[in-house]
Amino acid sequence: MSPMIELREVGLRDGLQLVGRYPETAQKQRWLGAAHEAGVRHFEVGSYLPARTAPQFADIDALVATVGRLPGARCAVLALNDRGLQNAIAGDAHDIGMVISATEAHSQRNMRRSRDQAIELVVRAVALNRETGAGKRIVAGVAMAFGCSIAGQVAPAEVLRLAERLIEAGADAISIADTVGYAGPRQVHSLVTAIGRLAGGRPLGIHLHDTRGLGLANAAAAIEAGATLIDAATGGLGGCPFAPGASGNIVFEDLVFLCQTMGLATGIDIERLVAARALLAEAMPEEPMFGAIARTELPIGHHQM
């Protein structure tokens, strides 16, 4: 993998938010092992939420431990409240994801707190990380950055204002999300470029959903604008349960192919990656999985990098 680009597989977190049936812990662990053998090195494995409301994430600590045993692998978790933050700081994941919504309406529905309160949680995360010497990377993301299916259009200036507040809060990396697929490449390139000017060398992330079919085009635009943390999910699984009309993430296998065609070294064997996704399909037979590469095959002579 190029040291400048991280392809982050988020299927075990975002990918399981809307499924009717989710894999058992052992099935998740087998899939993690197979994806790692294919060359994947960055995994987001779950959210710290109560097991009664999010049972699909009840095994998050076991999955963090599994990733910890995979050579060279990096693990991320999501924390949406103070208890989740404390668990994430005490745990062994490398990255802690934090979220602020670009609109107040989505913030209340998604986190049951205001945007100001969400930023205060990031401030506490940075302080706790320093006080404990936990050494986590705090990755703060702006959801609904290109438009909100509850509140409508989102002004780029508002996203920049929120990103600047996250930088002031001390976040180590800044990410923006097209949570419901409102954006096109031009908007993505422009906003990533603008945030890059504010970020002071911090890594920039992009989290894309393929609701309107522009996910991969938007990923290419983000990479060209300087994004280095790119999220995707095996089979295009996922979606926000508090965003009407949300659909899955961009397909991880197709993202790898895109990066390789752009001349980026991924270290990932796509054919082995496609074979690994069969483990998730077996665990969730009723769940639709997507992806152009999985339906066809690599072009003759394609050079895997």
The CATH superfamily of 6-295 is Aldolase class I (3.20.20.70)
The per-residue b/e assignment along 112-128, b for 16 or more CB within 10 angstroms, e otherwise, is ebebeebbebbbbbbeb
Domain regions of the chain by residue span: 6-295
Q: Report the distance separating Cα 98 and Cα 170, nearest Å.
A: 12
Q: Which pLDDT score is estimated for 246?
A: 60
Q: Which pLDDT score is estimated for 20?
A: 81
Q: Which pLDDT score is estimated for 302?
A: 81
Q: Which pLDDT score is estimated for 79?
A: 97
Q: Which pLDDT score is estimated for 155?
A: 95
- Give the residue among 123, 157, 31, 139 at the shortest CA–CA distance from 78: 139
- As given in the structure block, the two tokens for residue 161 are 């204002």
DSSP secondary structure string for all residues of the chain: --TT-EEEE-TTTGGGSS-SS---HHHHHHHHHHHHHTT--EEEEEE---TTT-GGGTTHHHHHHHHHTSTT-EEEEE--SHHHHHHHHHS--SEEEEEEESSHHHHHHHHSS-HHHHHHHHHHHHHHHHHHT---EEEEEEETTT-BTTTB---HHHHHHHHHHHHHHT-SEEEEEETTS---HHHHHHHHHHHHHHSTT--EEEEEB-TTS-HHHHHHHHHHHT--EEEEBGGG----TTSTT--PBPBHHHHHHHHHHTT------HHHHHHHHHHHHHH-TTS----HHHHS-PPTT----
Q: Which pLDDT score is estimated for 244?
A: 58
Each residue's pLDDT expressed in tens, for the chain with a length of 305 residues: 555 799 999 999 999 987 888 999 999 999 999 999 999 999 999 999 999 989 999 999 999 999 999 999 999 999 999 999 999 999 999 999 999 999 998 988 877 889 999 999 999 999 999 999 999 999 999 999 999 988 888 999 999 999 999 999 999 999 999 998 999 999 999 999 999 999 999 999 999 999 889 999 999 999 999 999 999 999 999 876 655 556 689 999 999 999 999 999 999 999 999 999 999 999 999 888 999 999 998 888 787 76
Give the residue numbers annotated as catalytic, written as ranges.
Answer: 240
State if pTM tops 0.85.
yes
> 206 vs 143, 201, 213, CA distance in Å?
10, 16, 16
